[in-house]
Amino acid sequence: METAAAEGAARAGVRFVLNGSPVDVWAAPHETLLAVLRDTLGATEVKYGCGEGVCGTCTVLLDGAPINACLLLAVQAAGRAVTTVKGLGAEGHLHPLQRAFVAHEAAQCGFCTPGMLLVAHAFLADHPRPTRDEIRSAIAGNLCRCTGYTRIVDAIEACAGTGKAARVEPR
Amino acid sequence: MYPSPFAYHAPVTMGETLALLARLPEAKILAGGQSLLPLMNLGLAQPGALVDVNGLPGLETVTEDGGGLRLGALVRHRTLETSPLIRRRCPALAEAASLIGNIRVRHRGTLGGSLAHADPAAELPLVAVALGATLEISRLAGAREVSAAEFFRGYLLTDLAPGELVTGVRIPAIAPGTGYGLAELVRRAGDFAIVAACAVITTDGAGVCRQASLAIGGVGPHPLVMRRAEGLLTGGPLTDRRLAEAADAVPGEVAPESDVHATAAYRRAMARVMAYRALAQARARAASGPGRPA
Amino acid sequence: MARRTPDEHPDPFRIVGRPLPRFDVADKVQGTTLYAADWRLPGMLAGRILRAVYPSARIRRISVEHARGLPGVAAVLTADDVPQNALHEDPTGLGLSSFATPVLAADRVRYQGEPVALVAAESEVAAQAALEAIEVEYEPLPGVFDAGAALAPDAPRVHPDRVNLLIHWKLRQGDVEAGFRRSDAVVERTYRTQRVDHAALEPEAAVAWVDGDGVVTIRAATQVIEHFREIAEILRLPHNKVRVMAPFLGGGFGGKEDMTVEPYVALLAWKTRRPVRMLWTRQESLLARPKRHPFTMSYKTGATRDGRLVAQEISLLADAGPYPLLSPRVVFAALVVGCGPYRVPNVKIDARAVFTNNVPTSAMRGFGAMQVTFAYESQMDLLAEQLGMSALEIRSRNFLQKGDRLPTGEALETEAALPHITARAVDALGERSRPSAPSGRVGRGIACNMQPYGRTVWFRDRAQAWIGFEADGALVIRAGITDLGGGQAASLAQLAAEVLGVSPDRIAVHIGDSALTPLAGGTFATRQLYMSGNAVVKAAGELRAMMIPVAASLLEAAEPDVQFADNHAGVIGAPERTIALARVVAECARRGIPTSLLSGFQGEHAAPIDLETGQGRTFPDYTFGCHAVEVEVDAETGTVRVLKLAACHDVGRAINPQSVEGQIQGGAVMGAGQALMEEVAVEAGINLTTLFAGYLIPTAMDMPDVRALVVESGEGKGPFSARGIGEPPTGPPPAAVAAAIQDAVGVRLMELPMTPERVFDAVRARPARPKNEARGKV
Ligand SMILES: Cc1cc2nc3c(=O)[nH]c(=O)nc-3n(C[C@H](O)[C@H](O)[C@H](O)COP(=O)(O)OP(=O)(O)OC[C@H]3O[C@@H](n4cnc5c(N)ncnc54)[C@H](O)[C@@H]3O)c2cc1C
Ligand code: FES
Ligand code: FES
C-alpha cells in the first residue's frame, strides 16, 4: 500500500488556461480535471454529480467544446483552454444566457446550471436559430432534476437569435 | 472522481508507443477515456499503468481510400457525426455516432476506443460489422488487419492481444444502389440501446436485392451477423413479405441475456422489430436513387 | 404567469403575485453559490464510510489495525468508538414505533450498504486505501426481502426482539360491507409502485469541524438543521454544543430529510479534532440512501349505477427496509388520502409498513400520498369503464367540496376547486396529435390528486422568523429554513417586501443555521411556505405595527393613512408626502423603539387520531390538482412517449407565479419519470441500480414542455391564502399516463414503472378489445 507515496511522487506541473488566465498546478496523473479544478484551484462552480459521464454537472469547455471534467485527466488539459461558467460573463456583468436563466427562473437548485449554461453556450455558437426540439436535443446529456427542462428551453430559446427578447423583470 | 494511482505514459510517436505497450503488457491504453475513466472512477478498473495515445500524430485523420474511407483510431465520435466527408461517404457511421451517449462523450470518445471496448450494445461496433469494416492493428512486431466481424470475440472481448493498438479502420467502397438503415430501442434518450439493428442493402436497378447485410447489437456478447436473414433477402425482390420473413428469422439467431432493463425474451422480440425497421429504411434509401451510399 | 379564475377580483398586492427573479438564481447562474461540498478548510481531511456488502449478516470480527497504520490515515472508527451508538426515534410522535437505530453496525448488518466503519485521511485516495484495508468477517444470515413475506409467522426477523410489522394504521368509516352490497359496480385490483431514488443532482455532502468555542459545527446538505439535537446525543454532548448549517441545496426532494452524512462526518471531526469533508459518491447514494417506498396497494371500490362512490376498502403495504426512519409517517399520509379527492361514505383502510433487509425507505416528495394516487385514480377509470362513463364524468360526481367530511371524519376546510382545475387541464391538451409512425397509437388520460401540506396536527408544528431593519433601511430576515432549490428563501423576501414596503433587492435573507437563525422546523412536508411564510408575515406585520406610529408622527398623518411602499413611508393618496424608511428607522432608534423582532407561527394543532378508527384531525390542509397527458405508444415495442402534459393545481395564491410554475413543471416531470422510467431494482437485498447510468431520470428529450396551470382560489392556510405546492405535482402523472396508455392500446398497467417491456407484454396478452367509446376518453 504505497498509494500515498505514489500520490505525491508522480506529481507533475500542468499548465493550462482557465477562463482566459494561465494557471500552473501540480497534479498527479490519477487526478481528474474535475478534482484539480475543485480541490486544487477552488473552481467549485464545476460540480461532481456522478463520475460516470452521465449527469453533466462537471461540464467544462475544452478549447470551446463541452466535455466531462470527471472523465479527463488533469494532465491531459496541459496546453489547452478550459472554460467554466465563470468564464462566460464577467464579474457583475452577466452573459445574455445567464440573464435569460435568471429571468426565466431556469434554475431552481442551480446544481445543473453551470454545466447547462456551458452546453447551451457552445450549442448556440453553432446553431444561432435553433428549434425547441434542437435545443432539447442539445441539452439532453445534462440532467436536471428540478425544473423539468421547460424553462431551461425557454431561456435558451430567448437567447437564440430568434428575435425574442428575454423576459426581464426588475428585481 | 478519484481513480487510484497509476504510472502515466504519454508517448508522442508510434514507435515509442508500441515499445511501451510491448514492455508493459498490463498497461491500459487511454484514448477518449469515456469508457475507461468511468470504470477507474468507480474503482472497477485499477490499472497500474496508462498509455495515453492522444498525443500520437495522424490518428485523427479521415481520408478517402479508393471509393471508401480510412479513419484513424482517434477520430472522435463528434467528428464521425459532423464531418462532411463522412456524412457523404458513410452516413450510417455519422448517424450511429450521433446516437452515442451525450455531446460531452461524443467530443472525447474515439472510434478505436469504442471498437476496442466492444460493448455489446454500442453503435460503432454494430455499424462496423454491418458495413464490413476492417481494423488496422499494430504491435511492436508488426501490423495486421482483421475484419470487424472477426474482431469481436465475446462480451467486452476482442481479438486484440496485449501490446496491440488499433490504429485505424477502413470502410469499403459502397456500391451504387446501396442504402442503410439503423434502428434502435432505447429506454432513455442517448442511452446504450436495448437492441440496435443496422442493415445495408444493395439493389439492382429493378429492385432486386444483390447484397444484404444485417447486424444486431444488444442481443448477444457482441454484434451478431444475421446470416439467415441475409440469405433470405439476397437475390430476391425486396417486398414487405420478404423483409418480414427475414426479420422473422432474426429471433432464432440471437442469444440475448436478461438484465434490469429488459428480459431476454423482450430483447429477442425487439430484435425482430428493429431488424425489420432497419431493413425497411435500408430498402427505402437503396431505392431512393442509385449511388446513394450507405 | 398566473392565470386567475375569471371571477376573481383584481390583485390587491404590490409584490406578492409578481414573477420576481430570485436572488439565489442570480448567484447560481454565476457559479458563486457554495454548496456543501464546495466548502474547504485548511487541514481538511477526507471522510469515507465502509459499507456492508451483505444485506443480512453477523459481523464476526472487524480488524482496523492495518488501516490505522497506513500513511495519511487520521482515524478509523467502528461502532465501539461511537459515544452513543443509537439514534432514538419516535417517528409517529405517539410512541407507536420508537426505535434505536445504530449509527454504525455493531454485530449485525441489516441492509447492503449499511455503514460499518468510518475513515478520515489526508486525501480521498488515502481514505479509499484505508477502507480497502479494513477487514470485516461476515457470517451471512437469512434475510427477508419481500414485504409480504416479512409478515409470515416463520419469516426471519429483521430485529430479533420485535416482529417485522413496523406499523399498522387503521381507518374505519361507515360500513364497507353494506356499501359494497349497495354498489352496482365493484372494481378490485392490486397496484404496485417501485423503489425510486430522489436523484438530487447534488450528492450528499458536508464539512464538519470543531470550532474555536468547542462547538461541533457541520455545514451539510440537509433539509433539516434540527438534526443538531440527534448529532449531539450521538456524541453525548449538550445540544448547544452542536451546530448545523445548511447552505443552499442542490436538490433535496426528501432525500436529505433524514440525516445522511451528518453523524458520520461529525464523529470524524470530533475524534480527529480536524475539519473533515465527507462526500458520498453517486454510487453510494444510489446504493444506500433511503428511497421512496415501494407500495403494494389492494383496492376494492364500489359505486352506484350513476357513478357515485359508495365504499372503498384499501390495504396498503410498504417495504420500510430495516429501520423505521419516516416510514410510519409516510404510510400515515397514504392512509389519510387513500381515497383521493372524492367523497366516499364507507371506508376501510389498513396501511402497514414492514421491516425487510432491503435498502431503507423514507421520505420522498409526495410522501405516501403519491403512491396511492396511482391506485385510486386507476380505480376511478376502471369504474368509469364498467359503468360506461367518461373519466371526467365519474370524477365530477364525486369530487370533494369544501365542508365535506374526509374519511378521517374531519371536514375539509378550504375550497377544492376540482371541477375548474380538471377542466383547465383537459382543455390545455388542445387538438389530439397524430401518430408519428404507422405503429404509433395516441391516447389521453387524466388524474387528479390531493396532497397534504404541513405536519400532522398532533406534532404542534412551529416556525419562527426574526426580521429587522438596518440603519440604512435595508431589511434582514433570519429564518432557520433550508432552501432546496424551490425558492424557499426568496419567497420569504417577497412576503416581507409586501408587508413592509421594502423592495426585494434591499432584503437579505439568512437561512439554515441552527445557532444563529431562529428554528423553523425543516423543509419537508410542503410546510415551509405555510409555516415560515406565515411566521415571516406575522413578524413583518408586528414590526410594521411598531413603526407605523413613528412614521405617522414624522409625516404628520393619521396612522391609518400611512403606508410603506418602495422603501418609503408615505401618506395614502398624497404621493408627495413620503420619507425614506431609513428615516423612520432612525427615528425609532432615537425614541428607543425596536426595529427588529422575533416572532413565531404556531401551526394548527389537535389531539391525535383514534388509533382504532383513524378518526380525528390529521393534516392542516390539502392542495388539489389535475394532470392531463397525451402519449404515443409504439404498439410494436411498447415504448411510451409523453407528447403533452398539462398540470393544473390550485395554489390558493401564487406568491411568485414563476416559482410556482417551476415547482409544477419539475414535479410533473419527476412523476412522469416514475411513471415510465425510474426504478431502483433490488433482488434478494442486493441493489442492482448503483450506477447513475442505470437509474433513468428523464432527460430533456424524454419529456415535452409542461403546461403549468395555476389556479388561485384565494383559499389556503399559508400566507395570503397560499397553499403548498412543493410536493403535489409529482402525484398525478403515473395514473394519467396509465390511463393514456389504455386509451391508446387498450391495456391497463397496474405496476410501475410502465416500461416498454411491460406495455409490450400487456399488449400481447390483451384479449380482443371490446368496443366501448366512453372508456378512458377525456
Ligand atoms: C455517459 C456515457 C454514455 C455513453 N453512451 C454510449 C452509447 O450510447 N453508445 C456507445 O456506443 N457508447 C457509449 N458510450 C461509450 C463511448 O462511446 C466511449 O467513448 C467508447 O466506448 C470508448 O471510446 P474511448 O475512446 O472513450 O475509449 P477509452 O475509454 O479510452 O478506452 C476504452 C477501452 O478501449 C481500449 N482502447 C482504447 N483505444 C484503443 C486503441 N486504439 N487500441 C486498442 N485499445 C484501445 C482502452 O484500453 C480501454 O480498455 C458512453 C459513454 C458514457 C460515459
Ligand atoms: S460528474 Fe461528470 S458527468 Fe456526472
Ligand atoms: S436546477 Fe436543480 S438540477 Fe437543475
What gap in Å lies between CA A170 and CA A166, rounded to an integer? 12
Q: Where are the beta strands (DSSP E) in C193-286?
A: 205-210, 216-220, 242-245, 276-279
Which alpha helices (H) appear in C603-716, and where do they start and end?
657-676
Of A85, A113, A145, the domain-final residue: A85
Residue A171 lies inside a defined structural domain of this protein: no
Residue C526 pLDDT > 90: no
Residue A165 pLDDT > 70: no
pLDDT of residue C8: 45
Beta-strand relationship, C562-565 and C507-511: unpaired
User: DSSP state, C114?
Assistant: -
What gap in Å lies between CA C577 and CA C473, rounded to an integer? 18
Three-state secondary structure call for residue A153: helix
| CATH code at C291-456+609-765 | 3.30.365.10
What gap in Å lies between CA C729 and CA C366, rounded to an integer? 8
Cell of C572: 395614502
State mean pLDDT over A4-29: 83
B162 lines ligand 1 (CB under 6 A): no
CATH number (2.30.30.170, 3.40.50.720, 3.90.400.10, 3.30.465.10) of B62-171 reads 3.30.465.10
User: For C609, phi and psi rounded to 5 degrees?
Assistant: -70, 165
- The residue of chain C nearest to residue A30, with distances taken between CA atoms, is C125
Segment C448-485, tens digit of pLDDT: 999 999 999 999 899 999 999 999 999 999 999 999 99
C637, C677, C689 member nearest B270 (Cβ): C637
Interface of A with B in 78-117 (CB under 8 A): none
Residue C410: other Cβ atoms inside 10 A? 17
Residue with cell 409490450: C760
Residue C21: other Cβ atoms inside 10 A? 23
Half-sphere exposure of B269 (CA within 13 A, CB side): 15
Residue A169 lies inside a defined structural domain of this protein: no
What gap in Å lies between CA C693 and CA B113, rounded to an integer? 19
pLDDT of residue C11: 59
Chain A interface includes C41 (CB < 8 A): no
pLDDT of residue A8: 47
Give the confidence band of B289 by pLDDT, cuts at 50, 70, 90.
low
**A62 and A95 both lie in a single domain:** no
Q: Where are the beta strands (DSSP E) in C276-345?
A: 276-279, 291-292, 295-303, 309-321
Beta-strand relationship, C682-683 and C686-687: antiparallel
Residue A168 lies inside a defined structural domain of this protein: no
B165 lines ligand 1 (CB under 6 A): yes
B35 interaction partners in chain C (CB closer than 8 Å): none
Three-state secondary structure call for residue C61: strand
Does the fold of domain B178-288 match that of domain B62-171? no
Closest to C635 in 3D by CA, of C772, C778, C764: C764
Query: C36-141+204-279 has which fold?
Result: Aldehyde Oxidoreductase; domain 3 (3.90.1170)
Give the confidence band of C774 by pLDDT, cuts at 50, 70, 90.
very low
| CATH code at B178-288 | 3.30.390.50
Contact assessment for residue C464 and residue C435, using Cβ atoms and an 8 Å cutoff: no
Closest Cα in chain A, distance from residue B92 (Å):
19
State mean pLDDT over C288-302: 98
Cell of C194: 417501485
A33 lines ligand 2 (CB under 6 A): no
Angle among Cα C718, C721, C725 to the nearest 5 degrees reads 60
What gap in Å lies between CA C608 and CA C460, rounded to an integer? 11
What gap in Å lies between CA C425 and CA C448, rounded to an integer? 10
- DSSP string covering C424-441: HHHHHT-SPPPPSSTTEE
**A48 and A71 both lie in a single domain:** yes
State mean pLDDT over C517-544: 91
pLDDT of residue C527: 87
Closest Cα in chain A, distance from residue B261 (Å):
17
- Kindly report the CATH number assigned to the domain that includes residue A10: 3.10.20.30
Give the confidence band of A52 by pLDDT, cuts at 50, 70, 90.
very high
**A55 and A129 both lie in a single domain:** no
How would you class B99 by CB atoms within 10 Å of its CB: exposed for 0-12, middle for 13-18, buried for 19 or more?
buried
C125, C679, C699 member nearest B190 (Cβ): C699
Of A30, A59, A85, the domain-final residue: A85
Give the confidence band of A171 by pLDDT, cuts at 50, 70, 90.
very low
ipTM: 0.96
Residue B293 pLDDT > 70: no
Mutate to test the interface with C, among B42, B100, B260 (most CBs of C within 10 A): B260
Amino acid letter, residue C93:
G
Domain ranges within chain B, ordered by starting residue: 7-50, 62-171, 178-288
Percentage of residues in chain C having pLDDT higher than 70? 97
Say which range, B39-48, B240-249, B280-289, C424-433, has the weakest mean pLDDT.
Answer: B280-289
Chain C interface includes A89 (CB < 8 A): yes
Atom 2 in ligand 3: residue holding the nearest Cα: A109
Residue A33 lies inside a defined structural domain of this protein: yes
Give the confidence band of C93 by pLDDT, cuts at 50, 70, 90.
confident
pLDDT of residue A17: 98
**A8 and A54 both lie in a single domain:** yes
- DSSP string covering B21-78: HHH-TTPEEESS-TTHHHHHHTTS---SEEEE-TT-TTTT-EEEETTEEEEETT-BHH
Closest ligand to C-alpha of residue B125 is 1
User: For C640, phi and psi rounded to 5 degrees?
Assistant: -115, 125
State mean pLDDT over C623-642: 98
Segment B193-235, tens digit of pLDDT: 999 999 999 999 888 999 999 999 999 999 999 999 999 999 9
C34, C693, C705 member nearest A150 (Cβ): C705
Does the fold of domain C291-456+609-765 match that of domain C23-33+462-602? yes
Of A85, A105, A123, the domain-final residue: A85
Kindly provide the b/e burial profile for residues C219-238, where b requires at least 16 CB atoms within 10 angstroms of the residue's own CB: bbbbbbbbbbebbbbbbebe
User: DSSP state, A18?
Assistant: E
CATH class of segment(s) C23-33+462-602: alpha beta
Contacts of B184 (CB under 8 A, 6+ apart): B99, B123, B193, B194, B195, B196, B197, B274
User: For C534, phi and psi rounded to 5 degrees?
Assistant: -65, -40
Chains that touch A (3 or more CB pairs under 8 A): B, C
Amino acid letter, residue B31:
A
pLDDT of residue B233: 97
Which residues constitute the domain of residue A46?
2-85
pLDDT of residue C609: 95
**A38 and A72 both lie in a single domain:** yes
- How many domains in chain A? 2
- The residue of chain A nearest to residue B51, with distances taken between CA atoms, is A29
A68, A75, A137 member nearest B104 (Cβ): A68
What gap in Å lies between CA C761 and CA C759, rounded to an integer? 5
Pocket test for ligand 2, best of A36, A38, A58, A139 (most atoms within 8 A of CB): A58
pLDDT of residue C5: 45
Q: In what order do the strands lie in the sheet with C57-63?
A: C108-109, C57-63, C135-140
Segment B150-173, tens digit of pLDDT: 999 999 999 999 999 999 999 999
Residue A151 pLDDT > 80: yes
What gap in Å lies between CA B131 and CA B182, rounded to an integer? 12
Segment B138-152, tens digit of pLDDT: 999 999 999 999 999
* Dihedral angle, C-alpha A21, A24, A29, A32, nearest 10 °: -30
Contacts of B231 (CB under 8 A, 6+ apart): none
Contact assessment for residue C488 and residue C520, using Cβ atoms and an 8 Å cutoff: no
Segment C27-54, tens digit of pLDDT: 999 999 999 999 999 999 999 999 999 9
**Residue-averaged pLDDT of chain C:** 95
pLDDT of residue B292: 45
Domain ranges within chain C, ordered by starting residue: 23-33+462-602, 36-141+204-279, 291-456+609-765
* Sign, CA torsion C426/C430/C431/C436: negative
User: For C519, phi and psi rounded to 5 degrees?
Assistant: -65, 140
pLDDT of residue C510: 97
A56 lines ligand 2 (CB under 6 A): yes
Residue A119 lies inside a defined structural domain of this protein: yes
